[in-house]
Amino acid sequence: KEAKLWGGRFEESVTDAVEKFTESISFDKELYKHDIMGSKAHASMLSQQGLISISDRDSILQGLDEIQRRIEAGEFVWRTDREDVHMNIEAALTDMIGEPAKKLHTARSRNDQVLTDFRLWCRDAIDRIIASIKNLQVALVTLALNEEGLIVPGYTHLQRAQPVLLPHLLLAYVEQLDRDAGRLIDCRARLNFCPLGACALAGTGLPIDRFMTSNALGFTAPMRNSIDAVSDRDFVLEFLSANSITAIHLSRLGEEWVLWASEEFGFITPSDSVSTGSSIMPQKKNPDPMELVRGKSARVVGDLVTLLTLCKGLPLAYNRDLQEDKEPVFDSVKTVIGMLEVSAEFAQNITFNHARIQKSLPAGYLDATTLADYLVKKGMPFRTSHDIVGRSVALCVSKNCQLQDLNLDDMRSISPVFEEDVYEYIGVENAVKKFSSYGSTGSACVANQLDYWVAKLEISRS
Ligand code: ARG
């Protein structure tokens, strides 16, 4: 057995079970690129500070480049007995270049090293998620542009409420996604501080330059407190919280589209390319991708809960428990990106069933609130108009008709305020035209929102 990098004081080697239980190489090799990046910045700083020679630095830098090449070519052998990504790379470097490699870990601990790697990794992951969010926003806005005038029933309590333009509804998701990206941008700015040089927890007496490494790695500044630097995981908690909120938004979108694809709604038809079948029922065509978007949100929330629970009982400073922070983060990122990508593909592969939607619009008195507003415009207090329209709806229910089927005498028997112009306010098409408040479903208001997103997302109108 090879001696451990930390083996000096040990007389026995660890048991196979302990080695297997404590290793992290099986998952933290994901950090290799950022580990090498951090080591290169560290080696350059050590030589500038006179802690290692320029020729040692050069052999370290070349050796690390060669290791990266081997990893990416699939030639690198990851060894469980070398425990984690940091020691795998350091030991491989020692195998390759000998003595100079033994100087790389000067004024560094795996505790600050792993946090440096992890913050760099999360920073890149945030950039990838933001790109995927934008991609989905573009897909939703494109869908909205293609269906600019389409009226659909808007729901509250999943009961028919008021008519809305489909783009208005789609843009609601675009807004939510924008805040999701905003949370990630905030998180990125807060996590972009450099732990390197905190060493095990207390810093070092060696003359390192933490500002140099921080700068070289694109961090805003070195972290002020070395104990905080190796202990804290709030950047991860914040990141996974942001991902959880995104996942919940996508889950709601998934639920809506699953409903809309049902026979009962029939508002959308997903293309075959985003549907799957049943192993027993030959007729089935299911919207599985969006069901799984809904389902996978559970993992993302679970990842956050794992991390919260992991951190809750830990005293300062580093504790080995913290090694458990990687897999939930990797899983959360992979899952959220998958959810965003599949949602965008789904959006690109659905058609809205205009005839079916049109046919369904008369049901549910979607125009009732607009009728109440009509009476307000005639000078009636809203509470009174609410009551009068309520009674008009009751009359329709008893006659099994819509508001616009009532004749003026019927209406005037409920209130003399109704006049001939009432028919410009009822019927779903008329009702939707009456909306005019900022942010409302009125066509000019929705057109403004569309213009905003087309410009912001740099979409070209075809
Ligand atoms: N693999 C470890 C982790 O992910 C690296 C830090 C180990 N430090 C230690 N003192 N054992 O947390």
pLDDT of residue 241: 98
- Express each pLDDT in 19-77 by its tens digit: 999 999 999 999 999 999 999 999 999 999 999 999 999 999 999 999 999 999 999 99
* Residue 157 bears catalytic tag: yes
Local structure of residue 250 (DSSP, 8 states): H
Greatest Cα-to-Cα distance within the chain, rounded to the nearest angstrom: 102
Cα–Cα distances (Å) from 72 to 55, 77, 339, in that order, read 26, 11, 27
pLDDT of residue 284: 87
* Residue 354 bears catalytic tag: no
Closest ligand 1 atom to Cα of 200: 10
Query: Which of 29, 85, 108, 110 is the pocket-test mutation for ligand 1 (most atoms within 8 Å of CB)?
Result: 110
Q: Quick one: tokens of 365?
A: 């008195």
Within 8 A by CB and 6+ apart from 424, the residues are 430
Contact 172, 13 (CB under 8 A): no
Ligand 1: distance of its center to the CA of 117 in Å? 12
Closest ligand 1 atom to Cα of 110: 6
- Which residues' Cβ are closer than 6 Å to ligand 1? 24, 28, 84, 110-111, 114, 318, 320, 322-323
Ligand 1: distance of its center to the CA of 114 in Å? 7
Phi, psi for 269 (deg, rounded to 5): -120, 115
Phi-psi region for residue 197, left (φ > 0), alpha (ψ -120 to 50) or beta? Answer: left
Contact 152, 357 (CB under 8 A): yes
Q: Check 157, 398, 437, 460 and give the catalytic one.
A: 157
Phi, psi for 370 (deg, rounded to 5): -65, -35
β-pairing, 193-194 vs 221-222, is parallel
Query: Which of 25, 27, 84, 87 is the pocket-test mutation for ligand 1 (most atoms within 8 Å of CB)?
Result: 84
Q: Check 26, 55, 262, 278 and give the catalytic one.
A: 278
- DSSP helix/strand/coil, 351: strand
Ligand 1: distance of its center to the CA of 319 in Å? 8
Taking CA atoms only, the protein residue closest to ligand 1 atom 7 is: 110
DSSP H/E element including 269: strand 268-270
Q: How far apart are CA 344 and CA 135, in angstroms?
A: 7
Averages of pLDDT over each 10 residues, the chain, 462 residues: 86 92 97 98 98 98 98 98 97 98 98 98 98 98 96 96 97 98 98 98 98 98 98 97 98 98 96 90 91 98 98 96 97 98 98 96 96 97 97 96 96 96 96 96 96 96 76
DSSP H/E element including 154: strand 151-156
Counted residue by residue, the chain has a size of 462
- Express each pLDDT in 248-257 by its tens digit: 999 999 999 9
Contact 61, 44 (CB under 8 A): yes
Among 388, 365, 364, 367, which Cα is nearest to 376's? 388
Burial of 373 (0-12, 13-18, 19+ CB in 10 A): middle
Ligand 1: distance of its center to the CA of 229 in Å? 14
Ligand 1: distance of its center to the CA of 456 in Å? 43
Cα–Cα distances (Å) from 236 to 115, 244, 427, in that order, read 11, 12, 52
Closest ligand 1 atom to Cα of 318: 10
Contact 428, 163 (CB under 8 A): yes
Instruction: Output helix, strand, coil percentages for the chain, rounded to the nearest 5.
Output: 65, 5, 30
Closest ligand 1 atom to Cα of 84: 1
- Supply the angle between the helices 288-311 and 234-260 in degrees, to the nearest 10: 160
Cα–Cα distances (Å) from 174 to 6, 8, 50, 263, 449, in that order, read 52, 57, 53, 26, 10
Q: How far apart are CA 291 and CA 257, in angstroms?
A: 9
pLDDT of residue 443: 93
Ligand 1: distance of its center to the CA of 344 in Å? 38
Taking CA atoms only, the protein residue closest to ligand 1 atom 5 is: 110
Ligand 1: distance of its center to the CA of 86 in Å? 9
Q: Residue 268 forms beta bridges with which residues?
A: 352
pLDDT of residue 7: 86
- DSSP helix/strand/coil, 34: helix
Taking CA atoms only, the protein residue closest to ligand 1 atom 2 is: 323
Q: Quick one: tokens of 246?
A: 């995104």
Closest ligand 1 atom to Cα of 83: 1
Q: Residue 152 forms beta bridges with which residues?
A: 164
Ligand 1: distance of its center to the CA of 191 in Å? 19
Taking CA atoms only, the protein residue closest to ligand 1 atom 11 is: 320
Give the predicted TM-score (pTM) of the model: 0.96
Closest ligand 1 atom to Cα of 114: 5
Burial of 280 (0-12, 13-18, 19+ CB in 10 A): exposed
Query: Which of 29, 196, 323 is the pocket-test mutation for ligand 1 (most atoms within 8 Å of CB)?
Result: 323
Ligand 1: distance of its center to the CA of 397 in Å? 70
